[in-house]
Amino acid sequence: MDIITQLQEQLNTIASVAFNTFGTLQRDAPPVRLSADYPEPPSNPNVTEDATTVSEQPKTMSAALVKAAKQFDALVSALPLSERGEEAQLKRIAELQFYKLSDLSSAWNNSICNSVRE
């Protein structure tokens, strides 16, 4: 698997872990009273786990998120360095965009010519 695909997969992993972490915290966090002006919030009836397990989950999930981020950083650092400067890179990007536009233009012209012939 190439490095770009690995980066994409790792980014998906980070997003998944973050999504699950936020969802779990939202589901399991104890209610908090925002101010004295508001009534006491009701307790969460969905909590069936003991308090120790619930208090350990954020630590475990945040550790998984940090690990995934570190793996992403390691993959980024494994990317090859460019021998060319920023100006050369910007010029190459412009060239690639031009070629892509000219290819699209050619494909569009061909499709128009083909539809006219029919």
Averaged pLDDT score across all residues of the chain: 81
DSSP state of 35: -
Among 73, 56, 71, 66, residue whose Cα is nearest residue 17: 66
Residue 21 region by backbone torsions, left for phi larger than 0, else alpha for psi between -120 and 50, else beta: alpha
Task: Using a cut of 0.75, tell me whether the model's pTM lies above it.
Answer: no
CA distance 43 to 31: 6
Contact 14, 72 (CB under 8 A): yes
Q: Which residues contact 80 (CB under 8 A, 6 or more apart)?
A: none
CA distance 68 to 78: 15
State residue 45's pLDDT score. Answer: 61
**pLDDT tens by residue, 45-59:** 655 556 666 778 888
State residue 49's pLDDT score. Answer: 56
Q: How many residues belong to the chain?
A: 118
Q: Computed from CA positions of residues 89, 94, 95, 99, in that sequence, does the dihedral angle turn out positive or negative?
A: positive
